[in-house]
Amino acid sequence: MRKLFFTLLTFSFVCLSSCSDGDIIDVELDFEGNYSACQGVKGLVLYKTKSDPSESLSVIITSLTIDDLLAVGDDNTFTTAKTGTLNYRTYSNTKITGTDLFCKDIPSSDINIINDYDSSCEAVINTTLTEDDNDGVPAALEDVNGDDNLENDDTDGDGLPNYIDEDDDGDNVPTKDEDLNKDGDFTNDDTDGDGVPNYLDKDDDGDGIDTRDEETNTQDQNPINDVTNNDIGADYLNKDVANTDTPPATVYRKHTISQTYIVILNLKGIDIEILSQDELDFGELSNSKTKGTRTVTPAFN
Ligand SMILES: [Ca+2]
Ligand SMILES: [Ca+2]
Ligand SMILES: [Ca+2]
Ligand SMILES: [Ca+2]
């Protein structure tokens, strides 16, 4: 639909501009792609720019910040509708940057605006946060019970659903390290042959001692570095080493969860002097704050 909206916009500008003043103004509104954002002196500015010819399309919304757009609720979504001011501008400069135009308290004196059309509009913003553990297990496999709901699969019961749990079985061996043969398939690594793949098996070697408790050398929440027999490898994969003398684990490792925000902007009720349009799909926000991580150390159980 974006293409259609911009095509309509282009047509309207060309026709009405040429009809109103007699000059043919060759305007091609080719604002494809993501929009940017910065905190301007008058409020939050959401904008797109293009060159050849140099043009900008921007919306200023007061009493709103980029952080506000990312403040999702428990359902990982955020929605708001604010009154904003839309500006479509053309420039004589051969090159423009949104940072120069919108993000500085005093714009460069080199900027030369030819036309400036403005309209109040309604800015409807819809944000969705997606989280992932990046543990290499496809989402379909993290849905252990196969009910198409990722929120109710928590193999180790630590409060983190498997799709954001980088140690799914809570044995303090990260899931990515439980693909022993490194073939990318987590289902074919089953050291003790009990039918439960290692990444979901809290006793990988089946010796009766939980993997997380097989720390014979160092108590550092890392059973990988506890090796009694170098020929076989780590004790948690060696059924012949079942050391019960060392204290059991009492904490989980710190987990890192990646976060990606999708912030969609739709503009409604545009009515500038040369164009009236009900709705404009402005696209998706491009900003460094839309990608990040959070860390959590789950409560031990
Ligand atoms: Ca996982
Ligand atoms: Ca594990
Ligand atoms: Ca395991
Ligand atoms: Ca074991």
pLDDT digits (tens, 9 = 90+) for 109-148: 899 999 999 999 999 999 999 999 999 999 889 999 999 9
Same domain, 276 and 218: no
Same domain, 119 and 267: yes
Give distance in angstroms: CA of 125 to centre of ligand 2: 39
10 Å CB burial of residue 218 (0-12, 13-18, 19+) is exposed
pLDDT digits (tens, 9 = 90+) for 150-175: 999 999 999 999 999 999 999 999 99
Give distance in angstroms: CA of 147 to centre of ligand 3: 23
Give distance in angstroms: CA of 191 to centre of ligand 3: 9
155 occurs within a structural domain: no
Give distance in angstroms: CA of 241 to centre of ligand 4: 8
Total number of domains in the chain: 2
Which pLDDT score, from 0 to 100, does residue 11 have?
37
- Beta strand 77-91 pairing with 113-132: antiparallel
Would you tell me how many other CB atoms lie within 10 Å of the CB of residue 277?
A: 18
Give distance in angstroms: CA of 198 to centre of ligand 4: 11
140 occurs within a structural domain: no
161 occurs within a structural domain: no
298 occurs within a structural domain: no
211 occurs within a structural domain: yes
59 occurs within a structural domain: yes
pLDDT digits (tens, 9 = 90+) for 144-154: 999 999 999 99
299 occurs within a structural domain: no
- pTM of the full structure: 0.84
Give distance in angstroms: CA of 173 to centre of ligand 3: 6
pLDDT exceeding 70 applies to what percent of the chain? Answer: 90
Residue reference for tokens 């990722």: 150
Q: 180: domain range?
A: 174-244
Same domain, 113 and 197: no
Alpha-carbon distance 218 to 237, whole Å? 16
From the list 77, 64, 2, 67, the residue with the least C-alpha distance to 35 is: 2
Same domain, 123 and 267: yes
Question: What confidence tier does 220 reach under pLDDT thresholds 50, 70, 90?
Answer: very high
277 occurs within a structural domain: yes
3-state secondary structure of 95: coil
pLDDT at 5 over 80: no
Same domain, 118 and 220: no
Same domain, 81 and 29: yes
Same domain, 25 and 114: yes
Which pLDDT score, from 0 to 100, does residue 106 have?
84
pLDDT exceeding 90 applies to what percent of the chain? Answer: 77
